[in-house]
Amino acid sequence: MAAASTAAATGGPGKRKRSFPARAPALCLALALALGHGTWLVFCSATANVAAVIVSTPAELIVEIGTVAKLPCKFTSSEKITTAASATWSYRKRGTDDRPITFFYYSNEKAYDGKNTQFTGRSKWAGDFLKQDASIKIENMQPTDNGTYFCDVKNPPDVVTEERPIEVKVVEKENIPASSGNISSCWLLVLQFCCVLASLPNYLL
């Protein structure tokens, strides 16, 4: 867990931050309206600041009590993915301003489950760095797991500017809206492509 704490605390020295061209918000808005889902607009706006590593996550996830929740986290990097790439997941309890607690770390094809956290023994790696996927799964979700989850990906020398939050709500089955649930990987890829495509002119300047 020492490695996880170190990785989570270490910032990137070569951070590069750019802004989207003026037409980028319009492009994301058009896509969001076409897909007809309010949270997708939040999804695009979450990647408005372009860094060396661009991390994309849904803004909100509603899961049923007792089920396995998949927390999606897609990313892009201008560098080749190597064994030095890492993913850190942290959690902040709902309704608090506490500092997020790191509970999962993955690097060099090895997963490190945080000790003495509420997720110990329940969190599993569900991603694939070669597919630019840093998703995880958490088993047996309970209302005590309500809160904000952060996905942080680093692929040295590329680093992410800030962690991306997912607001997770664990509810009874009858309280799950018909239109909610995990966003499919297909739409994750579409939205990721939208935001990355909009950022390309920055790198061509």
- Give per-residue pLDDT as tens, 37-46: 433 333 433 4
Q: What pLDDT shows up at residue 48?
A: 39
What whole-number distance in Å separates Cα of residue 70 and Cα of residue 90? 15
Is the separation of the CB atoms in 85 and 148 below 8 Å? no
pLDDT at residue 47, as a whole number: 41
- Contact status, residue 39 vs residue 191, Cβ threshold 8 Å: no
pLDDT at 161: 61
To 10 degrees, the CA torsion angle through 33, 34, 39, 45?
-70
Q: How far apart are CA 61 and CA 185, in angstroms?
A: 14
Q: Of 3.30.413.10, 2.40.110.10, 2.60.40.10, 3.40.50.150, which CATH number belongs to 2-18+52-180?
A: 2.60.40.10
- Segment 137-141 mean pLDDT: 97
To the question of pTM greater than 0.75 for the whole model, the response is: no
In this predicted structure, the answer to whether residue 65 has a pLDDT above a threshold of 90 is yes
Residue 190 scores a pLDDT above 60: no
pLDDT digits (tens, 9 = 90+) for 120-129: 999 999 999 9
Confidence of residue 175 (pLDDT cuts 50, 70, 90): confident
Cis before 13 (ω within 30): no
Mean pLDDT of 3-11: 42
Helix 185-204 / helix 23-35 crossing angle, nearest 10 deg:
170
| Residue 137: CA count within 13 A, CB half-sphere | 10
Q: Is the pLDDT of residue 19 over 50?
A: no
Q: CA–CA separation, 71 vs 47, rounded Å?
A: 17
Containing 204, the helix (H) or strand (E) segment is helix 185-204
Q: Residue 4 has what DSSP assignment? A: H
**What is the per-residue pLDDT for 177?**
80
**Residue 15: pLDDT above 50?**
no
DSSP structure string for 172-201: -GGGS-TT-SPPPHHHHHHHHHHHHHHHHH
Q: Where exactly are the structural domains of the chain?
A: 2-18+52-180
How many angstroms separate the first and last alpha carbons of the chain? 42
How far is 50 from 42, CA to CA, in rounded Å? 15
Of the chain, the percentage scoring pLDDT greater than 70 comes to 60
Which is it for the CA torsion 46, 50, 51, 55, positive or negative? Answer: positive
For residues 168 and 12, the model is more confident at 168
Provide mean pLDDT across the span 68-76: 95
